[in-house]
Amino acid sequence: MSEKQSRILQDNKKLSLIKGFLEDKKAEELVFLDLRGLSSVTDTLVVASGHSDRHVQAVSEFLAQEMKHQGYRPLGSEGLKDGRWGLIDYGDVIVHIFYHEIRTHYDLEGVWRDAPVILDERQKG
């Protein structure tokens, strides 16, 4: 991670909290994309994976609960109970937590491939 990318995460409390909570629940392959200037919907897109339906559900619910404890209430959420794809919308940050196969199908990183990368923890290989 570059110094600039690290600074973005440190300077943005919400992004830092989201990253920490996702890591606490062992979310996999975290990607944070900077959509400022590219999207009128949000500033940052966060994509993460879970290794099973239950894991996706647990990560999604944990993130929503812990962010609420920190005073961040989502504008909306979808799929938190299904375990295939959880979406939590914090306005300036939208978080997607996918079961791996669903993430591959929707390929949000590919859709937003021109967006500057803040964080990319996917395994290259």
Task: State which amino acid sits at residue 105.
Answer: H
Query: Does 90 fall in a domain?
Result: yes
Query: Does 28 fall in a domain?
Result: yes
Inter-helix orientation angle 13-24/53-69, to 10°: 140
* Tally of domains in the chain: 1
Which of 97, 121, 111 has the alpha carbon at shortest distance from 47?
A: 97
Query: Does 96 fall in a domain?
Result: yes
Query: Does 125 fall in a domain?
Result: no
From first to last of the 125 residues of the chain, give the pLDDT tens digit: 566 666 666 668 999 999 999 999 999 999 999 999 999 999 999 999 999 999 999 999 999 999 999 999 999 999 888 889 999 999 999 999 999 999 999 999 999 999 999 999 987 54
> Which residues, in sequence order, are CB contacts of 32 under 8 Å at separation 6+?
9, 15, 19, 44, 45, 46, 117, 118, 119, 120
Domain boundaries, position 52: 3-120
Query: Does 35 fall in a domain?
Result: yes
> How far apart, in whole angstroms, are the C-alpha atoms of residue 83 and residue 89?
17
Q: What is the CATH number of the domain that holds 51?
A: 3.30.460.10
